[in-house]
Each structure stands twice: as C-alpha cells, then as structure tokens.
Structure 1
C-alpha cells in the first residue's frame, strides 16, 4: 500500500520546535536561504588569502543578487533581510556584512527616502554599482549626531560641496574600496545653507569606479581587522561638488526644505539613520543563527568523539560526561531564548502603529540586539572550547564565527551604548503593562509562572537600587546622578532582557500542542530561568522572595534540568534545520572527521595490506 503524505499529516516534534525557533512560516521565510547556501557557490572553499576571500564574498553577492526575483523587494522587507543574516552569517561573515550594507543600509535607505520611480535604481539592483553607507566618523561613533562632514549648499550651482574638515571627520569603516566593483555610497553629512546648520542628511555619491576612487574622494584601507576580511576603509572628501538631486528626499528647485524648526535637526538625523533598527534586528538574527550553527556542531562532535570509558569498559562519547554536556545543555537553553527574543522584538516592531508604541518596540529591539549578540559570543566560545583544538582550524567553521560575533556586538550601535540608552529611558518610567500584572509567587520552582515572577523581581530590585543611588546624588550634577545609578541600571536592563526572553518562552510553549515538543520546550524554559535566578539568588533571598531551602533547591533543579536537556540535545540541534550541505563542509560535524586529516602517503595507506 502506498501512503501519500498530505498537509493533514501532523508535524513531528522536531518540526514543531523548528517553528518555535524560526516562526510558523519558516519554510516560506527561510526555505530560499536554506537552499541557496546549499548550492555550490556557497560551499566552503579550502584555504585562500584574505584578498581571495574578499573577492569570493563579492562574487557570492552577485550570485545572490541574480537569484533574487527583486533586490528592491528584499530591501523593503526587514523580515527577509533578517532571514538573509540568519543563514549567510554562519556561511560567510564577509558576504553577510557587504550584503547587509547593500540591501539594508543603502538600498533600504534609498527606498525609504525616495518617491517611487523618482530615481533610477537599476545600477544598484543589477550590482553594476555596489552600495555602501558612510555615517560613522573616526571621532564620532555612537555620537554620530555630532559628525563634522559637511555638505554646504552652493546656491549658484544649485548643488552641495562635500568636505571633510579634519582627520576626525573621516568616514570610518565603510567598504568603499573598488574591491568587488564600482561603489556608490550614502554619505551622512551636516547640511549647511545660508550660514545655518540644518542637520544631518543623506547624499547619494558615486565613490569609485572598478579601479580607484573618483576625483575629490580619498579612500585608504584600514589596518586588517580580526575576523573575516571586508574592505573597511577611511574615506574623505575634498570639496567634492555633487548635484542637488544627490540629497535624498530632495525636490529639485525647492529651497524651503532647508528651513529647520525646533526638533527638526534631531528628527532629520533619526530619519537619516532609520535603517539602523532593521539592521539591529538583522544583527540579532545573524548572531542567533551563528550560535545555533556552532552549538549544533559541538553537539554532533560530542556524540562521535570517543574517549576511554574507564578501566575494563568500552569507549564512550565525550557527551556522556556531565563536564562536557552540561555547558552545552545550558547553551541550548540560551540559544532557544535568543531565537525567541529576536522573534519577539521583530514582531513587536512590525506590529506597532503609534509613536509611543514605536518607541517601546525600538527599545526592545535595541536591548535584544545587545543581549543576543553578547549571549551569542558566550555560546560560540563555549561550543568552540568543547570541540578542542580542531575547532581552532578554519576548515571546521568556528573560528570566523568566534571573531565575527565581535563585529555584531559593535555594528549598528555598540551594545553598552544601547543598554545605557535603555537604562536611561527605563530608570524613572513605569514599564507599560507591569502595574496591573498579578504576581503569582507560588513558591514552586516547577511552576514557570513563579519563575517568571522572580525574574521580574530581579529587574525591579536592580532598578530600585539604581533610583535610590540617583536620588542621593546632587540634583545639579546630572552626570554624577547618572554615574551613581548606571551600574545598577544596566543590571536592570540585563534582567529586563532575561524576563522578556522568559515571556517569549512561555508564549511559544502555550502555542504548542501537548506532546514531546512542548515537553522539550518546557525543560529548556525552566533551565533558562533557573540558571539566571541562581545567579541572582542572594538578592532574591535578601528581598524575602526566596528562602534558604529554595536557594538550595535551585542548584538541584538546575542539575535535573541539565540532564533532561542533554538527553535530547541531538534532537534539539536537529530543530535548527541546518542544511546537511552546510554541515558537510565542516569535518568535525560528521563521524568521519578524522578522514579530513588522512595522509594518502602515510604508511597505513602505502604499506601492503598484510603489513598494516
């Protein structure tokens, strides 16, 4: 009898967990990228100099672009951009960087600022010219609003003169070399007209041809940086004239738009860098995808790396030992939390319709980006360490991700700056939705509601301490008040991120049907919460929210949950839905990893069979 699978066949536990990680529409949203990275152009090359790897990244960008039905549609869809980062990140961090800049920061900003059809984008959609984004300056990073590059309006020629006034105003780290082909950039500069400063605006500027920088533009490569090779450069302008229509959103012939009223300069700056928020969502997606990939490899390697089992016993996989599988079980709970928090932030951002809601959603995006990329660093480093010396070799796929996550931590806003901004916003503001929420302190460490209530209390404790310290400082000393509160307030933001991730866990578990998938997610959810609460148990004990017996029980509960999660680690890693073609390019991900080191000329291969 032939059995035909239809849509009525219930999904497996693994498929349900994949939906938890990637969303219920994961086949539609992620299928294209999973298939793309499985094709030959994206298979892992052997060796190569940094320059060759950079050229490969741009070659792959062109392959990617030809595979799209519309580059403009990709640039206009933050969810698709995040999926791009999810899957390209583990394959080629350099490609991920240049693709994110071209499609999100460059094309996305063009689409956001321009009326449909007003500007011909064909050169950028076909990659006859690659786009880049020039905002950060040597002396102005997180304070980019203070940038010094100017675009002075020349009324006689009806255009702008771009100029870099000093070394600190050089644009820092855009990929502006001719590598990969001719480049154009969106240059953030201070618009000066009639002797007045009208705020930071974006200007579309051709930067290079296929060989060199264009006249009036100086491009110098920065020193080699850690991680994958990208053509990061210093870029400056020497009184470069650009036509009036270089100004994004300009209406040719209209001069009234230069007028600025109260708040206009900040509003225009925030509009100019509006693509940073989708970029932060993409950084979260990239970090979560890279962490999932390294953890999956570590789980696989731990299952087929055999060690002595003890005197008189057969060898066992290294994963059999608590010292090995314990950190990976904790990492598994964190990786699920990262993925769920990223999706929660993304969905909140997409759903907000008013200014107040947009501000709250943007704060969650910012905090999620920082928390996820920091946790990704921990997971990636732990996974690398669990795979020993072999994971230090480039062919095993981890080294680029160890260094690549450092770029994500800094990109689209340094993490500590994002935390500090959120801390300042939250310090004296009531969090929406918190005031009327009942607090179910049941005392039962098996009750996820109780664990979430304790997580909320950790947040409250740190913000209360921060407010108390701020109020003790002199009113006239604003910096002193902030410095007094900052340490505790940052701890409060960290606790806020853990609480948001725990709530995302709860929502995902509630959406699953009864069965194995829901059980597995419940174990991960509790392990994630219990380990964080154990780190804060002294504060909860001092506040009377835990007693001594419960503090003792946290350690035992954690061990029980680690054993439960470790027992299902291979199946949980399968839920990451990593293409086998990707894993096949990393030798330690397979049981035959030793074959990658075989020597055809070795005596074991050349000696007669009866002499081996």
Structure 2
C-alpha cells in the first residue's frame, strides 16, 4: 500500500486522538515501569498499577484537566488499556468515576477543594462505591443510608445488613490512600430523598477510617486490582460530604429537590456512568485494534510449510485469513463507530442524523456493550491464531480478553443496558426504525456494502415490528409485564444486535466516503463488505424465513468472503500497521532459543 493511503488510514483510525498527549505517552512507554512484568503476585501487581497511575499523573499534570478535555482524556485511557488493562481500570475509576462524580455533582464548591486537590495530585486514589452485593448491578435497590443529623449537620453513613455492603470497589490495598464517593440513600426528617453521592476518605497509610470495615476479595486473574467488600458502621461524615447537585438541604433538615422525587434523583445520580461508557468503548476499541494488529503481524512473520505447499507465512492460509480479516474488519468498523460517539460526546461536531442525537445516551451504552463483547471474542480468537505464543502474558492477549470480560458488568451491566434499550426501542422512545430503500433484495449483489447495509436495516425493522407487535399482543391478553418481556428477551437482544450493527456499518462507510479515491479507500470498503456479510451470514435464518434472500444468495456468502480475503491479503499488514496506537510500543513477541 502506498504511503499516501497509509497516512489516510491512520488519519481515519486515529481521527479523535490528541497528538500532543500521544507524544507524552510515547515517552512513558519507553520507561521500564510500563514494561510487562512477569512473576508478580496479586498484591505486587496492584501496587505496580498504582505506581504507574501516579507516574502517569506526574507526566500529564492535574487529573481534573483531563475531564474538560475529552480528546486528551480518551487518548490517555486508550493508551492505558493497551499498555496495561489494570492501569486503564484504575485510571477510569480515579478520573471518570471518582473525580468525575465530584466534578459533576459538586461543581463550583469551595468547601471540597481539598478533596479535589488530593485526587488531582494523586495523593489519594479515587473510587466510586455504588454496587451492593445483594442485588448485583440493580442500582434501583441501593440500601446504604446516610441519615442527616440536624443537631450537628453531619450524616450517619450506615450499611443496614450484609446484602447492602458495597461490592468490589478498588479499596483493598493496605497502605494506599483512597478517597471514595459512596452512593447512599439520603434520609432527612425520616424521609427517603433518593440516592446521592457522599465524599469521604476510605483509608490512609494506617488502614481504614474508623467505622469502615474492608474485606479484601480474592485474586481476580482476568483483571487484577485491589477489589474489596466494604461496609459502614454508623460512620459520621461532615455536612460537606454530600454532593447535593441541584438539591438543597437546610441546616434544620428541610429539603428541596427540583428534580422531584427519589426515582428522578437516582436517574440523575447515575448520569456519571455515561462518561465511563464512552471511556470503556474507547479503550475497548483500542484493544480490539491492537489485538487484530498483533495477530496479523505475527501471522505474516510466522512461516510454516506443509506437504501440499512450500514454506510461506501462516497468513497465506485461508483458514487463518478468515478469522483475522474478520478481526481487522471489526477493528476498523468499531473504531469508526466509537470515533463518531467521541466526536458527539465532546461536542467536536453536531451530527445531522436526528435519530442519532435523540437516542444518543442509549447508543453510548450499546456501543460500550458491543465493544466489550467484541473485545472478548476478538482477543480469544487472535490469541488462538497465534498458537502457543498467544498464551504468554507479554503478548497481552489474556489481559485484553480479561478487559472485555470485566467491562461487561462494569459501569452498568451490558446485558441490562441492552435489554433496557430494546424495551425503549420497542416502545418507540427516541427511536424510529430504519426505512430501507432496497427493492427485490433476492436479486441483488449482497456483497456490495450499501446493499448489505439496506439488508441489515431491513432486518432491524423486521425485528422491531415483531417485538413491538408481540408486546402489544401481550398487553391485550393481560399478560403480566414481567412474563411478557421475559418471553421476548431473546428477540430484544437480536433487535439491538441488528441496530448496533447498522450504526457501525454506517459509521465505517461514512469514514470511507471521506477518504480520497485510491487503494486505501478500496480496502476500507472491502472491510465494510466483510463486516456486513459476516452479520448477514450469522442471521441467515431470518433472511431465509422472511424470504428476503434466496438459498443461493446465502450459499454464496462464503465464496464472497473468500474473494474478499484474497483481495485484502496483500494489504493486510499495512491495514494492521495503520491500527497501531500513537504512543504505544506493544508488539507481538515470538520466542526462540536465540537472544
């Protein structure tokens, strides 16, 4: 591939990166502290993560400035994810969720400046304590209480029973200062005012603060961090701990919340998840890019021979190309989608599509969910395609797989996000099903990406009609709401899958349109075709049952995928190299007896 095309591809992939931040991170990549370290125990691994986070803060300056600079924030988090998934998680918890919650709900307050300073300087590390062990990620049921004492102005923070204990915040490491934001029900004058955040020191160099019971959780091999269970035994915290946002609490206990009641307040308090969703999607897309690039570069360099063929790269074999070109296509497609999300989130550009804007928050959650599933799947596949070399920690496949797995339930469970989105879509809330322009699809060349896009839109529309009609029928028959929805949850998941696939393909084709005509643009369009055909093939039962496609069209999909592999193979390494993250020095290691 020529240099111009390669530059165009890198510009497409890294369109939202902040180059000055990438340059600073490149300097960090050269430091031994950020190398892969073998043989560390769990505690050593956790301490290394916090040393890295503190060094990152020294290099980048005050952490709070990242919150007001999305390109810089997401470039940093992507680099963290590729360098060390545990570092990404600790940085996200500190920045987006710990400091981010204080920034969101305590903005403009002078009385909490010292706490912000502690987090800014990384004197203390931040954590968000929301989830409770009894009800998992169902935040509707938060039962930790903060009872207002009008005599002193303080709050009494209390865990009423074991099931209300906070589950797996990163506060378990001895000797490391942690400042937490605890989500609890505010009780004033005996009334439940809803869930608010409360800032308080959790532990310092000498151990937990009085009244705070911390139990370190077992080692988590997928993504090591100092996870813990934590309970509060009538801990008195100062009045300034309350992140009251727009609500007002008078000294005598009188309370006013312009949002209304506890349900509205809970929804507002959970808004902080949305920045974390973008952060997770951004990091996961970076991991997918890196994973695909590592496996393709390895397969191009690794040579093999067989009785039926001379010595040649492993990547020359179609059995290797199909999964790895699939990973490459997914990397480019999801990167285009995540870049679109980041541009909208940061206000870098207004999107002309009203359906995108009206359902944007829901879309962010779905993109986070889709990227987590994809990262886990792609990392597993690529590791296997590197054979025995894929199992070694230095090649990071296991860490990337772990990140995809752990971010599924993190910051809001991806399955719950998916089902809630489908329920809103079925009801037509900020959603209108697409109107495909395609006619006589059973006579069209479905390997053309625009035609494939219309087919996927047709699939989405059909699933939406089936789900919406089914829910209306259930209501007419008097079926209980839980039973009506529970019986159709599989259909809800299929609808969301088709919806997010359509958005992904639209984003990739829009990026392709921005490229100048040439070899690079042709390659991106072929990747789009590969991505689309994979989805159509996986849903071929629906297309055949609805008589949208013929059996012959479905039988020809593997032929079309083979042809795309053949055409993409000569440029596979160049396409992979364009995915290399600015500032990252991660490469695939091959091992031999020589040094």
Distance 2:186 2:96 in 1: 23
Give the aligned partner of residue 186 of structure 1: 181
Distance 2:462 2:340 in 1: 24
- 1:145/1:200 contact within 8 Å kept: no
Matched, 1:211 2:206: yes
Distance 2:146 2:293 in 1: 49
Give the aligned partner of residue 276 of structure 1: 273
Cα separation, partners in 2 of 1:390 and 1:115, compared to 1, 3 Å: closer
Secondary structure of the residue aligned to 1:410 is coil
Distance 2:453 2:463 in 1: 16
Distance 1:441 1:511 in 2: 29
Secondary structure of the residue aligned to 1:498 is helix
504, 519, 524: which one aligns with 2:522: 519
Cα separation, partners in 2 of 1:366 and 1:215, compared to 1, 3 Å: same
99, 104, 114: which one aligns with 2:106: 114
Matched, 1:408 2:404: no
Deviation at 1:507? 0.7
Per-residue CA distance 1:334-364 (angstroms, 9 max, x = gap) = 11112112122233344479x9976610111
Cα separation, partners in 2 of 1:193 and 1:26, compared to 1, 3 Å: closer
Higher mean C-alpha displacement, 331-340 vs 233-242? 331-340
Structure having the higher Rg: 1
Give the aligned partner of residue 456 of structure 1: 457
- 2:150/2:253 contact within 8 Å kept: no
Distance 2:369 2:460 in 1: 17
Give the aligned partner of residue 608 of structure 1: none
Give the aligned partner of residue 587 of structure 1: 589
Distance 2:211 2:82 in 1: 38
Distance 2:162 2:538 in 1: 46
Distance 1:432 1:472 in 2: 20
Give the aligned partner of residue 497 of structure 1: 500
Higher mean C-alpha displacement, 514-523 vs 16-25? 16-25
Q: Which runs of 4+ in 1 moved over 6 A?
A: 355-358
6, 15, 23: which one aligns with 1:23: 15
Per-residue CA distance 1:505-563 (angstroms, 9 max, x = gap) = 11101111111211110010011111211222332233232233322332321211122
1:133-212 aligned at under 5 Å gives the runs 133-179=128-174, 181-212=176-207
Aligned residues: 582
Secondary structure of the residue aligned to 1:162 is strand
Distance 1:254 1:507 in 2: 56
Give the aligned partner of residue 553 of structure 1: 556
Distance 1:207 1:380 in 2: 36
Cα separation, partners in 2 of 1:29 and 1:492, compared to 1, 3 Å: farther
Deviation at 1:21? 1.8
Secondary structure of the residue aligned to 1:142 is coil
TM-score computed with the length of structure 2 as normaliser: 0.91
Give the aligned partner of residue 3 of structure 1: none
Deviation at 1:100? 0.6
Distance 2:379 2:254 in 1: 49
Secondary structure of the residue aligned to 1:219 is strand
Per-residue CA distance 1:229-266 (angstroms, 9 max, x = gap) = 20000111100011111101377855677235774322
Higher mean C-alpha displacement, 245-254 vs 507-516? 245-254
292, 295, 302: which one aligns with 2:292: 295
Per-residue CA distance 1:143-167 (angstroms, 9 max, x = gap) = 2121110000001111100000100
Secondary structure of the residue aligned to 1:315 is strand
Give the aligned partner of residue 236 of structure 1: 231
Per-residue CA distance 1:20-47 (angstroms, 9 max, x = gap) = 2221655356444344334332122233
Deviation at 1:286? 1.6
Higher mean C-alpha displacement, 270-279 vs 195-204? 270-279
Distance 1:543 1:114 in 2: 54
Give the aligned partner of residue 332 of structure 1: 328
Higher mean C-alpha displacement, 391-400 vs 163-172? 391-400
Per-residue CA distance 1:252-301 (angstroms, 9 max, x = gap) = 85567723577432232222222211101111112111222222221121
Give the aligned partner of residue 393 of structure 1: 392
Per-residue CA distance 1:434-454 (angstroms, 9 max, x = gap) = 566644667232432211110
Matched, 1:485 2:488: yes
Matched, 1:372 2:371: yes
Give the aligned partner of residue 99 of structure 1: 91
Give the aligned partner of residue 61 of structure 2: 69
Deviation at 1:101? 0.5
- 1:349/1:362 contact within 8 Å kept: no
Cα separation, partners in 2 of 1:431 and 1:144, compared to 1, 3 Å: closer
Q: CA RMSD in A?
A: 2.6
Higher mean C-alpha displacement, 402-411 vs 188-197? 402-411
Cα separation, partners in 2 of 1:35 and 1:516, compared to 1, 3 Å: farther
Give the aligned partner of residue 425 of structure 1: 424
Cα separation, partners in 2 of 1:506 and 1:180, compared to 1, 3 Å: farther
